[in-house]
Amino acid sequence: MSQSLSYLLVHLIFSVKDRRPLIAPPLRTEMNAYLRSILEHLKCQPVIVNGAEDHVHLLFFLARDLSLSEAVAKLKSNSSRWMKTKAPELDAFSWQRGYSVFSVSKSNFAVARTYIANQEEHHRRFNFMEEVKKFLDKHEIAYDERFLWD
């Protein structure tokens, strides 16, 4: 094959360090837009970016010439640096070290997009930690909870 083609749709989730509620609604809109701009700069096509006060969800097509770990590192470092400029009380802002990522099939595209769009509704019923554990269990990913939240 003379072309390199891909369909790598990923659902990425990561939280504020210690799950601190630092992404208030007015700032959340700006953060979501900034994360989208980072994805676009990386040549990753964003589908939707949304979250809550302590975490974000990103659904995007991973560029075929970029590793997932490189994309995550760029997203987290650039947005963390940006966040620190938004208010004096955010000068120590940082994301958790880890992240969760899930592949999304074409047949589940709409389901994933709707799920991310409705974050506010989901978090009336359960918190971020419960949400991540549900995802990990659904995808049968083994984890040690002692190391899940740093």
Over residues 17-27, mean pLDDT: 92
Report residue 120 as tokens.
């506010």
Domain count, the chain: 1
Q: Does a structural domain hold residue 31?
A: yes
CATH number at residue 51: 3.30.70.1290
Mean pLDDT of all residues in 122-147: 80
- Residue span of the structural domain in which 25 resides: 9-147
Domain assignment of residue 4, yes or no: no
2 located within any domain: no
pLDDT at 6: 86
Tell me whether residue 1 is in a domain.
no
Q: Which among 6, 2, 140, 142 is positioned nearest to 67, based on CA atoms?
A: 6
Checking if the pLDDT of 4 tops 70, the result is yes
**Nearest 10 degrees: Cα torsion 94, 129, 23, 18:** -30
The whole-angstrom separation of Cα 44 and Cα 78 is 15
User: Please, which residues have CB within 8 angstroms of residue 60's CB and are 6 or more apart in sequence?
Assistant: 9, 10, 12, 39, 44, 45, 46, 47, 49
Give the separation between CA 21 and CA 19, rounded to whole angstroms. 6
How confident is residue 31, by pLDDT bands cut at 50, 70 and 90? Answer: very high
Is residue 138 assigned to a domain?
yes
Judge whether 79 lies within some domain. yes
- Is pLDDT of 15 > 70? yes
Closest CA to 127 of 53, 65, 76: 53
Condensed to tens digits (0 to 9), the pLDDT of residues 60-118 reads: 999 999 999 999 999 999 999 999 999 999 999 999 999 999 999 999 999 999 999 99
pLDDT, residue 1, reads: 61
Instruction: Tell me, yes or no, whether 3 lies in a domain.
Output: no
